Structure 1
Amino acid sequence: MSQPRSEPCTGSGVPDPWPAPRVREPVDLTVALPGSKSLTNRALVLAALADGPSTVGGALRSRDTTLMAAALTALGSSVDTSGADWRVTPGRFDRDAAVDCGLAGTVMRFVPPVAALSTARVAFDGDPHMRSRPIGEVLAALRGLGVRIEDGGRGALPFVVHGSGSVAGGTVVVDASASSQFISALLLAGARYERGVDVRHDGKPVPSLPHIDMTVAMLREHGVQVDDPAAGGGANRWVVAPGPIRPVDHRIEPDLSNAAPFLALAAVSGGSVVVRDWPRHTTQAGDALREILARMGCRVDHVEEGLRVTGPDALEGIDVDLHDVGELAPAVAALCAVASSPSHLRGIAHIRAHETDRLAALAAELGGLGADVTEHPDGLSLRPATLHGGVFHTYADHRMAHAGVIVGAAVDGVEVENIATTGKTFPDFAGLWSRLVEPAGARG
């Protein structure tokens, strides 16, 4: 790949690169996962815009969510993160602020429409790699709604939002083919705009639609009137009516996308893994793991404790369109690399603009370990091959780290560079992984 490798994280207490534990016998594990990042950050934004205090129960405590809490606090709300349940008290957005987006796309995209309601100057920046991630459509949309933004014409970080205390709102057209977050960002704050917001998508199909469904569902929980495609608003149209946002106490579900590497342990070892408290009904994209793993030969059952996956004797390849669940692509690609038959992953050109170009990164890193992989404009093809050890680079991308540990569970001698990047959405991932995996094997 032409892009630079990520720099090792320091102070993580683990070696870099990190020797991934190898599984040598079927696992039998039960895992309790931290809360969903996607749900936590949406809940925090809506709580900061609500008419009174709210509690975000079981909030995920990770880099992305603490950055969101800090951003909303900088604007003028109070977010108390001292306990397991975070207390959010809305405040006046009337002071100059600086927002650190880190590597959090939700902070970079969800907070500017909120900052537009401020009466002050709000500056945004983040980690160096974030300056190449797409945000221009959101900034252009806000300009179309009358918000003044300084970005030097880059349509990227860093930029400054100059709030005037209100946003007229109205109709705005965006091309959200690069990220569903462009739509969610405008919908989350739209009820606070004078005329609400009527968001119309014009471009290739919007990826990751379950995340927009999540946004719409949470807005409705807060009493906001939303017309979405399923309600007859049009296939590419979402309308939020102006009005109050009711305070709501949320209980955050486990992060189902973060379940991918743990369920993969069952798949690669022929063992069994239970993820506690898996919801029977959810808007999380990670719920698609149930169908994907079943198609690869696993047995998938809802049990009293949560969801149980039991791996097969031989993992089967899969031909699947991951357009709506692109965040699962790295974990699925890792499973396909150790499967016994060919696989083709399609519909995921948009993940080139995630934390890194995930298609190029997966092709490079899986190929570097001996995988027979072909990169396509919108996906990957993988064929059975004998893999070997080596360093799996992560490009400061937590999902790439998940892919590395999955391969490492099935292949001797895999070392994952910058495993600490998993802290973006999963604190102490490496420690938990080691405690669970090493009893079923030994370090490669």
Structure 2
Amino acid sequence: MYHYLHAKPWVYCGLVFSVLFFICISLKYTQYCSSYSRLSGKSSKTRAVPLNHDLHYCPPQLSMWIINRQIDSQFCGTSRTWTIRVWLKRDSGQYWPSVFHTMPSSCTCMSFNPETRRLSIGMDTGSICEFILSEDYNKMTPTNTYQAHQGKVSVVLFVLEMEWLLSTGQDKSFTWHCSESGQQLGTHRTPSWVSGLQFDVETRHAFVGDQSGQVTILKLEQDSCSLVTTFKGHTGNVTALCWDPSQRVLFSGSSDHSIIMWDIGGRKGTAIELQGHSEKIQGLCYSSHTRQLISCSSDGSIVVWNMDVTRQETPEWLDSDSCQKCEQPFFWNFKQMWDCKKIGLRQHHCRKCGQAVCGKCSSKRSSIPLMGFEFEVRVCDSCFESITDEDRAPMATFHDSKHSVVYMHYEHTTGCLLTSGTDKVIKVKGKTDGKR
């Protein structure tokens, strides 16, 4: 004991270092066990998505990933490290990078066309850089650069049938270029900076979703465009758009946690809400052959909606100065409050019939999947009695991606779903044991 008390200082340093080393090892082991438990889906009430590949060698602030339908590869543009990476699946079944290309500035968005192997990268400087990938996807050759915007490019979309390159930016402009000549064909000013863009080749209609929450439809010509109409249904900014050309239906997701299905082909102005997320919508993908909509939110939840059913449009909320069930006055109806000598009540609305009711007449909660309400919502007592157990049967399945999703891509030809998250991880989910 005497020797330990009178040891030299470096001995004490060695002992302290050893203790700290064992503590770090214990913490790492605890984190590993926790991560394994999360990946195995044991701690979640929702269904864990089958995980085929989990890539951890990813740079921070991932902006976009795409699965190629012809070769099992992925493409990534990053914003902090200014790099583009191409990952190919090797014979071992693991993904390894085949291209590592450094860009002159930060990447913000990307579009890839598998037929021409054309890769378009939007930059935070407002320019769009174009590349052609080799047949073996081991080389990238720059072909063109477009100075499309004065601010960061938010969305870029290449249309092969028209040879157009569509783009939107934070300078509140929507532009389209000719990919053959490189010349700008036209531009359109938007009320707010655009965060979503889709295009219909048959009618040449561009669907533009912006930060104000509205969706604008533009008719594009070779050198001009005209405003067709504007949809207003979200209370938050539009974060994702998805177009189904076969059914002619547009889906829009928003930061208000809701998804709206706009029936463009029906020309009746039908808008059906889908309520199944509790956080901001980050991505929308539609599988036309299974008639399913796939949505993801920032909390990591993935919802698969069955769109092969006839859904009902949510009713508009009615205005009234008193409860439309018990006729009790609301708190702003001073005249009726004075006449009946009663204190006014707070106004609520039934999600099924849209009537203005008080809290006493709408004390029940129920899910209404046909109207898009997968969670329980407020309904009046009479509507609650009319809802059967068959009406409450869910029309969507819920899954947990186990990370906060930033971007999602679905490839219908292979049945693979790709998500990238804030944890710098890309996850590829798909067919497992012969099942999707």
Q: Would you say same fold, with TM above 0.5?
A: no
Larger Rg, first or second structure (1 or 2): 2
Q: Structure 2-normalised TM-score?
A: 0.26
Q: Structure 1-normalised TM-score?
A: 0.26
Q: More helix by proportion, 1 or 2?
A: 1
Q: More strand by proportion, 1 or 2?
A: 2
